[in-house]
């Protein structure tokens, strides 16, 4: 289950232009027709995105700022209601106090910050950014720019949909394409271990020009947009599923830890992941603490051996648990653990490395089935 934040912009004038075209008012040239068709497409895509996100058992995050936020929430609500499922906990909007809401669907959580347009003391990031696993941008306005600014600082996965660029929608093509180019420049570092560049470029998918005299979507258009929404959510799932694993253990060269690290790495590789000890991947000039935080945050799975009492190990383990990471804990059989850790599932080991490997592989595969 992922927290997927969808933000974007849909101008009411686009709907007005669409209605005028349907009414056959004079002055609606082909350009206006195409803009209105794009307006209908972006609305339908927003609706399908909301539906697909909750249908795949994810949580829809939003900000209830714009009409587009409402369309996404309506799509999610319609599917949940069709399944007789409560919307609470599945549709969540983070809002600043006194801000006008574009809808009242799902749960609303007040931000501790009065505004996200500037940095306030002790509130480094908007809560929606901190808790989101991935951000989908569908359109462009000042709010989207603010969210993008924070998301890039937090190094969150960003999926800017560049398929629609009609002036009628008030989309600033250069801005949305600039965001796309920025993410492509960071691609190897941010996404290279999870997806290919070709997969990311689904965000640039082109749609055929409209035909006929009215900006109306036919059944094939609707099917295409439903399929596109599914592609976007699939991409969101892939970029949130890191193949990296983090190993927590004392920085010692004892044979015990070398052997354990080798077992963790081997088990991770067998399940399609990559695991390395942090002290094997940094140089002498690297500040290690920020790197530890960053690597734990980026990892989908964390191994921790608590055989030897260590404040650093306990702290890093607590940090990983606080981020709700999947954690596999091991210890030498008979080692007494602090109360808080003793309450967690722990794999005991002795001298039988084959038995330990089998237990770890079983645990990894169980985690993969759940996620």
What's the pLDDT at 304? 96
CA-based nearest residue to 65, from 5, 150, 1: 5
How do residues 337-352 score in pLDDT, each as one tens digit?
988 888 899 999 988 8
233 lies in the same domain as 336: no
197 lies in the same domain as 318: no
208 lies in the same domain as 274: no
pLDDT over 70 percentage in the chain: 83
- CA end-to-end span of the chain, whole Å? 7
| Domain stops at, among 206, 240, 274 | 240
- Contact present, 105 and 91 (Cβ < 8 Å): yes
Residue 362 domain boundaries: 244-370
Q: What is the CA radius of gyration of the chain?
A: 24
Write down the H helix ranges in the chain.
12-22, 30-55, 67-82, 127-131, 142-153, 173-185, 187-190, 197-200, 219-240, 255-270, 288-298, 311-322, 339-342, 353-370
- Contact present, 71 and 50 (Cβ < 8 Å): yes
What's the pLDDT at 270? 93
What's the pLDDT at 236? 96
What's the pLDDT at 59? 96
How do residues 257-289 score in pLDDT, each as one tens digit?
889 999 999 999 999 888 988 876 655 556 788
Q: Which residue has the higher pLDDT, 231 or 296?
A: 231
What's the pLDDT at 171? 47
147 lies in the same domain as 293: no
What's the pLDDT at 199? 95
How do residues 153-204 score in pLDDT, each as one tens digit?
888 999 999 887 544 344 455 588 899 999 999 998 888 878 899 999 999 9
218 lies in the same domain as 332: no
Find the mean pLDDT for residues 210-234: 79
| Domain stops at, among 188, 208, 240 | 240
CA-based nearest residue to 132, from 152, 102, 103: 152
Indicate which CATH number applies to the domain containing 277. Answer: 3.40.50.10140
Q: Which residue has the higher pLDDT, 298 or 94?
A: 94
What's the pLDDT at 3? 94
Q: Which helix (H) or strand (E) holds 112?
A: none
56 lies in the same domain as 145: yes
What tokens appear for 327 in the block?
């954690």
Q: Which helix (H) or strand (E) holds 145?
A: helix 142-153
């Amino acid at each position: 289950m992922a927290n997927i934040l969808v933000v974007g912009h849909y101008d009411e004038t686009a709907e007005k232009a669409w209605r005028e075209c349907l009414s056959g008012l004079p002055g609606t040239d082909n350009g206006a027709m195409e803009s209105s068709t794009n307006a209908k497409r972006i609305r339908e895509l927003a609706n399908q995105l909301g539906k697909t996100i909750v249908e795949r058992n994810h949580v829809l995050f939003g900000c209830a700022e714009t009409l587009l936020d409402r369309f996404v929430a309506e799509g999610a609500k319609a599917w949940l209601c069709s399944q007789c499922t409560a919307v609470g906990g599945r549709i969540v909007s983070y809002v600043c106090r006194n801000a006008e809401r574009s809808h009242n669907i799902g749960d609303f959580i007040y931000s501790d910050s009065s505004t996200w347009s500037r940095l306030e003391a002790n509130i480094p990031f908007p809560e929606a950014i901190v808790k989101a696993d991935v951000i989908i941008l569908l359109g462009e306005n000042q709010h989207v720019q603010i969210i993008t600014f924070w998301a890039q600082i937090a190094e969150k996965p960003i999926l800017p949909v560049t398929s629609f660029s009609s002036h009628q929608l008030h989309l600033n093509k250069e801005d949305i394409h600039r965001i796309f180019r920025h993410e492509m420049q960071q691609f190897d570092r941010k996404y290279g271990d999870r997806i290919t560049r070709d997969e990311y470029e689904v965000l640039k998918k082109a749609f055929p020009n409209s035909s006929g005299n009215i900006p109306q979507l036919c059944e094939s258009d609707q099917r295409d947009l439903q399929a596109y929404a599914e592609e976007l959510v699939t991409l969101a799932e892939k970029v949130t599923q890191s193949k990296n694993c983090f190993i927590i253990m004392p920085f010692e060269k004892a044979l015990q830890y070398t052997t354990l690290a080798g077992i963790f790495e081997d088990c991770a590789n067998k399940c399609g992941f990559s695991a390395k000890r942090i002290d094997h991947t940094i140089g002498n000039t690297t500040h290690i603490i920020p790197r530890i935080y960053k690597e734990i945050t980026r990892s989908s799975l964390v191994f921790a051996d608590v055989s030897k009492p260590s404040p650093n190990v306990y702290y890093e383990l607590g940090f990983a648990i606080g981020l709700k990471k999947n954690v596999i804990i091991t210890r030498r059989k008979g080692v007494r653990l602090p109360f808080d850790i003793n309450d967690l599932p722990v794999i005991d080991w002795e001298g039988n490395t084959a038995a330990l490997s089998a237990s770890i592989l079983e645990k990894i595969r169980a985690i993969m089935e759940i996620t």
